[in-house]
Amino acid sequence: MLEPRSGAWVFEPDTVILTGAYKEENMADLRNSNVRAANGAYAGAAIDEGLRAYMLRVYNLMAMGLGITGVAAYAIAMLATTNDPASAVATMGNGKMLTGLGAALYGSPLKWVVMLAPLGMVFFLSARIEKMSVSAAQTTFWVFAALMGISLSSIFLVYTSASITQTFFITAASFGALSLFGYTTKKDLSAMGSFLMMGLFGLIIAMVVNIFLQSSALQFAISGIGVLIFAGLTAYDTQQIKSMYYEGDTDATAGRKAIMGALRLYLDFINLFMFLLQFLGNRE
């Protein structure tokens, strides 16, 4: 979701996918695959130091975005549910009692606004990033992360808190290993990335079809394929973000790149987490 790929938002019970894809032709000036300093070891060391700082900034922004999402999701879930029957205005099939806020967010047309708002923010950031200041782009990313948290708050109504926490740490460990592979490997992952993007579009189509079929077998297959696709995209996107680094960038350009890279990895993490949750999560 920037240099972003075409965006797609699909909602199923317990599953939300938001994907972003980078438009190479519009962001070509951000790449420097064939540009490197030629002044010996000193220049090489400067590049390495700059690259480490750039990637650390990307990861820090992504981690802060995930933190905002988690806090927003948990806070909204607490405000949307109650243990007091007198305060409940609706009850879910699993016995969860909803407050007025919960009924509005999960049982009224407002749920579509909550679901589609993050996608709107992604399109906005994609279109405006090159004209925005770094602070404005970063603020937009924080707003997006908060909106995503509100959208994902429903997982606390479906899965136990313990299984959500367990799945989060499993996702974090897997993501870290996959991203490290993408950062350190000397193999060009471009071909794999193209294959994964085709698989992603097929996955979205299958999810849409299953909204009508409601097939548990197909849902299981979708979850498994989704984990594999976003595991691969984590490594691929890390390599692509690394290749975007250029030691001659201005502070503003480097800041925009870092935000876009953080958003790209953030989306990989969220989707990997959601698909793993379908495998590992214990329902209420």
1 inside domain: no
The pLDDT assigned to 17 comes to: 63
The tokens for 16 are 């939300």
13 inside domain: yes
> How large is the average pLDDT for residues 162-179?
96
106 inside domain: yes
The pLDDT assigned to 18 comes to: 65
156 inside domain: yes
2 inside domain: no
Cβ contacts of residue 114 below 8 Å, gap of 6+?
Answer: 105, 147, 150, 151
66 within 8 A of 59, measured Cβ to Cβ: no
The pLDDT assigned to 42 comes to: 45
53: amino acid identity, one letter: A
Band (pLDDT 50/70/90 cuts) for residue 16 is low
- Alpha carbons within 13 A on the beta-carbon side of 8: 16
> How large is the average pLDDT for residues 266-284?
91
193 inside domain: yes
The pLDDT assigned to 15 comes to: 52
- H/E element, 17: strand 15-19
What are the pLDDT digits (tens) for 104-159?
998 888 888 988 898 888 888 878 888 999 999 999 999 999 999 999 999 999 99
Q: Using only C-alpha atoms, what is the Rg of the chain?
A: 20
Q: What is the average pLDDT score of the chain?
A: 84
3 inside domain: no
**The total number of structural domains that make up the chain:** 1
Its domain, for residue 78, covers 8-280
158 inside domain: yes
Band (pLDDT 50/70/90 cuts) for residue 14 is very low
